[in-house]
């Protein structure tokens, strides 16, 4: 027995913002954003909290799986934008769901966060420490964007995706994860400044800062490498993969990975154009959409692959149950 995805769900804020609308606020254009990134619009919260979004995504995943809240014994939320420093987002969500039997914690691995959380839950299930787990990737990135920095703020969006996990004949087969803290400054968002009785640091408000080209170069090298390693480890041929569900950061990264793997781009589902980059939420949002549309068939081999802040990366091979 392995760990199966029993249900999926997602939530996107009601408010959508097109590239043209952004151009009313800053020196940018639909032409620049869409040709450089593939993004046409994104969802930006006008009031939904991270807990609201995670809750709606979780509700759909639980309904889809048939697993009620009291049967969840683990909740992990992957996020860098939790509503509170404490309680954790997972604990806030536990209360809203009434998942009274779950142990709850958050995980920060930026855009790879959902995959790191998925693997952690998998190990809990395989270790006999949980029967059913809820894993969420949720981000309210609009609150950590510098809206005066057009090179980052046009890229990101808000949203949440969720999966319910349980034991199954088919499911997670192989996992590759990696981190390189030495290159972490390429995608940085500082924490609160040190301020106490003895010191007051004068620092700017902590917004996201990204060395776009450095992260781009990292992604186009690291992602295909880790997918190739995963395929080799699993003894599965690239042609046997139904879908490559990549973190949605830039269409040019996805095209480059497809080219390097010599795989038709049609096998790379995309929601980047509608959602922008939603960091830890992008993979489960995309997975939920494919599942909702009936595009995942029993026996399909699917690879999920994430990359980003840390720097971190990972790939998971799943046989759809
Ligand atoms: O999820 C985490 C992982 N993140 C990623 O994978 C992101 C990876 N990086 C990228 O996707 C790309 O590097 C970006 C989309 C961020 C940037 O694309 P780029 O082709 O690397 O552009 P650039 O940063 O080299 O900027 C080119 C020009 C610059 O102007 P000059 O210096 O050539 O005159 C920028 O000032 O584009 C300018 N620019 C813009 N122009 C209009 C930067 N942002 C904008 C903008 N609108 N929003």
The per-residue DSSP string of 221-264 comes to HHHHHHHHHHHHHHT--GGG-SEEEE--S-HHHHHHHHHHHT--
**DSSP type of residue 156:** B
Domain ranges of the chain: 2-169, 174-319
Cα of 299 vs centre of ligand 1, distance in Å, is 39
Any ligand 1 atom below 6 A from CB of 37: yes
pLDDT of residue 192: 86
User: Which of 142-181 are b and which e, b meaning 16 or more Cβ less than 10 Å from the residue's Cβ?
Assistant: bebbbeeebebbbbbbbbbbbbbbbebebbbbbbbbbeee
Q: Burial-class residue 36 by CB neighbours within 10 Å (0-12, 13-18, 19+).
A: middle
Active site residue 226: no
pLDDT of residue 206: 87
Catalytic choice (64, 277, 291, 301): 277
Catalytic choice (91, 104, 111, 226): 111
Nearest CA to ligand 1 atom 18: 36
User: Which of 241-266 are b and which e, b meaning 16 or more Cβ less than 10 Å from the residue's Cβ?
Assistant: bbbbbbbbbbbebbebbbeebebeee
Active site residue 43: no
Kindly give, in sequence order, each residue whose CB lies less than 8 Å from that of residue 176, ignoring residues fewer than 6 positions away. Answer: 226, 229, 230, 233, 314, 315, 316
pLDDT of residue 317: 98
Asked whether the beta carbons of 271 and 289 are under 8 A apart, the reply is yes
Asked whether the beta carbons of 141 and 280 are under 8 A apart, the reply is no
Nearest CA to ligand 1 atom 21: 213
To the question of domain 2-169 being in CATH 3.10.180.10, the answer is no
Nearest CA to ligand 1 atom 35: 151
pLDDT of residue 201: 83
Asked whether the beta carbons of 179 and 70 are under 8 A apart, the reply is no
pLDDT tens, 209-227? 999 999 999 999 999 999 9
Rounded Cα gap, residues 48 and 46, in angstroms: 6
Q: Burial-class residue 274 by CB neighbours within 10 Å (0-12, 13-18, 19+).
A: middle
> Are β-strands 74-78 and 103-107 bridged in parallel, bridged antiparallel, or unpaired?
parallel
Please identify, by atom number, the ligand 1 atom nearest to the C-alpha of residue 28: 47
Asked whether the beta carbons of 107 and 75 are under 8 A apart, the reply is no
Cα of 149 vs centre of ligand 1, distance in Å, is 11
Q: What is the mean pLDDT of residues 197-220?
A: 92
3-state secondary structure (DSSP) of residue 316: strand
- Answer whether residue 204 shows pLDDT above 90: no
CA distance to 26, 49, 156, per residue, from 31 (Å): 14, 31, 17
pLDDT tens, 34-90? 999 999 999 999 999 999 999 999 999 999 999 999 999 999 999 999 999 999 999
Asked whether the beta carbons of 167 and 131 are under 8 A apart, the reply is yes
Same fold? 2-169, 174-319: yes
Please identify, by atom number, the ligand 1 atom nearest to the C-alpha of residue 37: 15
Asked whether the beta carbons of 152 and 37 are under 8 A apart, the reply is no
Please identify, by atom number, the ligand 1 atom nearest to the C-alpha of residue 282: 1
> If you write DSSP's letter for every residue of 47-77 in order, what string do you get?
S--HHHHHHHHHHHHHHHHT--GGG--EEEE
Any ligand 1 atom below 6 A from CB of 111: yes
Candidate from 40, 212, 215 with most ligand 1 atoms within 8 A of CB, to mutate:
212
Active site residue 111: yes
CA distance to 83, 153, 185, 189, 190, per residue, from 204 (Å): 21, 17, 16, 11, 9
pLDDT of residue 63: 98
**∠ Cα 99 141 8 (to 5°):** 40
In CATH, the number for domain 174-319 is 3.40.47.10
Q: What's the whole-model pTM score?
A: 0.96
pLDDT tens, 265-317? 999 999 999 999 999 999 999 999 999 999 999 999 999 999 999 999 999 99
CA-CA-CA-CA torsion sign (290, 48, 191, 42): positive
């Amino acid at each position: 027995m392995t760990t199966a995805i029993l249900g999926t769900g997602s939530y996107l804020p009601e408010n959508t913002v097109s590239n043209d609308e952004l151009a009313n606020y800053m020196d940018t254009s639909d032409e620049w954003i869409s040709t450089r990134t593939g993004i046409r619009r994104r969802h930006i919260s006008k009031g939904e909290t991270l807990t609201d979004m995670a809750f709606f995504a979780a509700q759909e995943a639980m309904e889809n799986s048939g697993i009620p809240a009291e049967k969840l014994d683990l909740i992990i939320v992957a996020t860098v934008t939790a509503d509170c420093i404490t309680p954790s987002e997972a604990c806030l969500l536990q209360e809203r769901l009434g998942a009274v039997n779950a142990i709850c914690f958050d995980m920060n691995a930026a855009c790879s966060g959902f995959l790191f959380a998925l693997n952690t839950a998998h190990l809990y299930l395989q270790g006999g420490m949980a029967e059913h787990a809820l894993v969420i990737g949720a981000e309210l990135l609009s609150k950590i964007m510098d809206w005066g920095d057009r090179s980052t703020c046009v890229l990101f969006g808000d949203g949440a995706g969720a999966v319910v996990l349980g034991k199954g004949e088919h499911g997670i087969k192989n996992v590759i994860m990696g981190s390189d803290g030495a290159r972490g400054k390429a995608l940085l968002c500082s924490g609160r400044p040190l301020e106490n009785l003895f010191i007051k640091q004068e620092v700017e408000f902590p917004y996201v800062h990204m060395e776009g080209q450095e992260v781009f170069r990292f992604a186009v090298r690291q992602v295909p490498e880790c997918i190739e390693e995963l395929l080799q480890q699993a003894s599965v041929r690239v042609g046997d993969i139904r879908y490559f569900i990549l973190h949605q950061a830039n269409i040019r990264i996805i095209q480059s990975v497809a080219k390097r793997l010599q795989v038709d781009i049609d096998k790379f589902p995309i929601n980047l154009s509608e959602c922008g980059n939603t960091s830890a939420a992008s993979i489960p949002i995309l997975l939920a959409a494919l599942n909702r549309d009936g595009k995942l068939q029993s026996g399909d081999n699917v690879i999920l692959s994430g990359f980003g802040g840390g720097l971190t990366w990972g790939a998971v091979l799943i046989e759809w149950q």
